[in-house]
A = this chain, B = another copy of it.
């Protein structure tokens, strides 16, 4: 059960409502986000809504049968839109394109990438400054200094920044320089990180775990939302299966299922999804046709010289062609 509170609800009213719900043997969690004030009630299934419906302070009550509540599509009339400012909005029906290198490598690379994005009308740049790597001996990213360099160049060009946050202490450190925090596939169930990201007011994109279920992804989003941040995006980036012809198995089904289950925007990552440069295009376009609200992919001026993920990174001319195709496919989808 989700109870939307009126914007002018006072603490006394809130307390009365909570008491009433607890009497019904429901456990309540108070949630206060950028957009609203909620009470989430968890308890037995059968429940007579009339017992609390007329209490002062309540704007609306939603019975949500899913185990996750706030991220469920069942209660929210309008899908969530993520507004990054300057006219950059990620929402159902639009097509958000996020592109850039796997790792931020230096000033020249940043500038060339930004130039490429601007030429193609792309407003959001991806790139890693903190890199999760299986081996402790691999390149782990330029860190906060790289992010600052990137921020300076991006701001001038009107480009928004999405980049991965790996631990709680980085949240504050990165805050001034990013537009979207990305939670990587290895941290999808790093619940402390999710909790803390619920306490900031910038959007968070959560990638599906390496072998995470769709439900687990929704629960992870529920963590952030219930801790106070409802500016959330979900990202399908391929799952681990027995098949080794591809790096991961892009789960196109998950895009369609997520669009039904949640009001949050769903982004597709074909670069990690299949992990092979020549196949990024078909997987990206398939993802758009399956209903994705955006695509995030890796591009680099010289993929063969990239510090990481070169094998799945497009060069700029491939990237330009893909962007054009994504837009055409999206147009068709919206017209069907």
Contacts and interface: CB of A to CB of B under 8 A. Distances in A.
Contacts of A240: 211, 242
Given A289-B288, A325-B336, A329-B289, A253 B283 contact: yes
Contacts of A192: 166-167
Number of identical protomers: 4
A256 B282 contact: yes
Nearest to A245: B214
A135 B69 CA distance: 10
Contacts of A333: 285
Interface stretch (A55-63, A142-150, A272-280): A272-280
Interface in A162-199: 166-169, 186-187, 189-193, 195
A132 to B, nearest CB: 6
A278 to B, nearest CB: 7
Interface range for A: 35 or more
Nearest to A212: B210
A111 interface: no
A257 B279 contact: yes
Interface stretch (A76-84, A102-110, A215-223): A215-223
Interface in A220-245: 222-223, 226-227, 239-245
Contact of A135 (B67, B214, B274): B67
Interface of A: 27, 29, 40, 42, 67-68, 132-137, 166-169, 186-187, 189-193, 195, 209-211, 213-216, 219, 222-223, 226-227, 239-246, 249-257, 259-260, 273-274, 278-279, 282-283, 285-291, 325, 328-329, 332-333, 336
